[in-house]
Amino acid sequence: MDFKTFREHAYLIYDRIQDKKDKLEEIRERARRCTATWDSPPVKSRGSRVEVLSCEAVELEEQIAQLQKYAADIWGILRQLEDPRHQILVENRYVYGKSWKEVAFKLRRTSDYVKGKLHSQALQELETILDKSA
């Protein structure tokens, strides 16, 4: 995986997980309105609304689990960064999408330093790690 791919995946993964969790909660709420309790077995009629909702819920849970595994891979890569400042920079900028100003504030450095020298160092270290894992 190259840095560009890593950045795109890291930035989107948590939004995708949250979107799917929100959709899952919506499905569960719709299913609760169809049955007395969510835990009760679905009605045994062919193609019932509860059956369809249950299938959608199971599918979403599987997708969430898959995305969470991928997120764990991203965190594994971030933990390999030796300099904690690089970890903070990459995590906050590329995973959480924070501005350079916010990252600089967190690191107690100027925006110019963080965006320039520290960012360059962090990218070099990250690209080395990504090249080794390829």
pLDDT at res. 37: 53
Tell me how far apart the alpha carbons of residues 12 and 31 are, in angstroms, rounded to a whole number: 29
Residue type at 94?
Answer: Y
Same domain, yes or no, for 93 and 61? no
Judging by beta carbons within 10 Å of its beta carbon (0-12, 13-18, 19+), is residue 117 exposed, middle or buried? exposed
On whether the pTM is more than 0.75, the answer is no
pLDDT, one tens digit per residue, over 54-69 is: 888 899 999 999 998 9
Same domain, yes or no, for 130 and 84? yes
Of 42, 74, 106, the residue at which a domain comes to its end is: 74
- Report how far apart, in Å, the C-alpha atoms of 127 and of each of 10, 76, 116 are: 14, 14, 16
pLDDT at res. 50: 76
Of 74, 97, 119, the residue at which a domain comes to its end is: 74
Same domain, yes or no, for 114 and 129? yes
Residue type at 91?
Answer: E
Domain residues for 21?
1-74
